[in-house]
Amino acid sequence: MAPNLHTDLEKVYDEYSDMLYRIALTHTADQHDAMDVVQDVFVKYATVKKKFDNALHEKAWLIRVTVNRAHDLSRKNKVRSYTPLDEVYDLPDEENNLSLAVREMLESLPEKYKTVLVLHYFEGFSVEETAGILDISVSAVKMRLLRAREILNVSHKPEDFYE
């Protein structure tokens, strides 16, 4: 690996790995699987010769690949026995730790609703950014957020979800 590529990879890893881990963990509900997903994403990042238009495009690509890989892994592991959520969640940043009740609520949602909730409320992306990352329309993001809140019957503000 060329020194410049190594430095760039380290920089991108340092900047995005925690966020990608949280996203992967939300979708896989397993620490080891989430770490595998992040590793796979960065291996793909290092080996694919993709040119990004800007930092937002790069970030969106990383998130999309993370979500796709997490979904693939979750589908593959459907036959695996289930481990309770309180045993598997260990988010890296205490400030962003979700209460067990919220994690269980997220687990109950279909993937498309879970993804928009995590990106918008917990990772702080705007509706427009979330739409760009997921390659769906702004109205689709708004509708998924609305339906997710209806499913969860949540009237709380997002900051109420933090411990």
Closest by CA position to 115, among listed 30, 39, 4, 25: 25
pLDDT digits (tens, 9 = 90+) for 88-109: 444 444 434 456 667 777 778 8
pLDDT digits (tens, 9 = 90+) for 43-102: 999 998 788 889 889 999 999 999 999 988 877 766 454 555 555 444 444 434 456 667
pTM (two decimals) = 0.68
Q: What is the 3-state secondary structure (H, E, C) of 79-128?
A: CCCCCCHHHHCCCCCHHHCECHHHHHHHHHCCHHHHHHHHHHHHCCCCHH
For the chain, how many residues are written? Answer: 163
DSSP 162: B
Any idea which residue has 């796979």 for tokens?
A: 40
Q: Please, what are the domains in the chain?
A: 1-92 (1.10.1740), 98-163 (1.10.10.10)
